């Protein structure tokens, strides 16, 4: 029995034998590394680094196995962080601080009247 040929050519052939595959791999590498570099810069600059870094890894994972492994590891760490935040009440603490929790409540005194009345 003969096997059907792959629509993308010989799978055992080196990547550089097909100009399309090489160009695609190069474009994915440049774009993915650029997005990843921006995400890494956003770790120290104001911005959504924890959104941009997985986006860059996702782009790189299209062509590179090492990026797929990093992306899986990153997703697992995000899941652990979300579970920790949900279980520890960390979001409630942050929300309470933003709402002014712990501040002295404002009370109205019955002896004070607005000026001019």
What is the pLDDT, as a whole number, of residue 78? Answer: 87
* Closest C-alpha to 32, from 15, 48, 56: 56
Name the pLDDT band for 99 (thresholds 50, 70, 90): low
Residue pair 32/67 in contact by the 8 Å Cβ criterion: yes
Q: Distance between CA atoms of 82 and 56, rounded to whole angstroms?
A: 21
Q: Bigger pLDDT: 105 or 43?
A: 43
Number of Cβ within a 10 Å radius of residue 52? 19
Q: Distance between CA atoms of 58 and 65, rounded to whole angstroms?
A: 11
Paired tokens of 26 = 């190069």
Q: Bigger pLDDT: 15 or 21?
A: 21
Q: Bigger pLDDT: 98 or 73?
A: 73
* Closest C-alpha to 58, from 41, 39, 82: 39
CA angle in degrees (0–180, nearest 5) for 51-53-57: 120
């Amino acid at each position: 029995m003969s096997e059907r040929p792959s629509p993308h050519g010989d799978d055992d052939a080196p990547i550089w034998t097909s100009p399309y595959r090489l160009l695609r791999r190069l474009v994915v590498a440049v774009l993915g590394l650029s997005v990843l570099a921006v995400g890494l810069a956003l770790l120290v600059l104001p911005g959504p680094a924890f959104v941009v870094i997985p986006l860059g890894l996702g782009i790189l994972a299209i062509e590179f196995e090492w990026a797929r492994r990093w992306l899986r590891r990153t997703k697992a760490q995000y899941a652990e962080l979300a579970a920790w935040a949900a279980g520890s009440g960390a979001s409630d603490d942050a929300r309470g601080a933003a709402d002014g929790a712990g501040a002295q409540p404002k009370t109205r005194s019955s002896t004070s009247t607005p000026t001019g009345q």
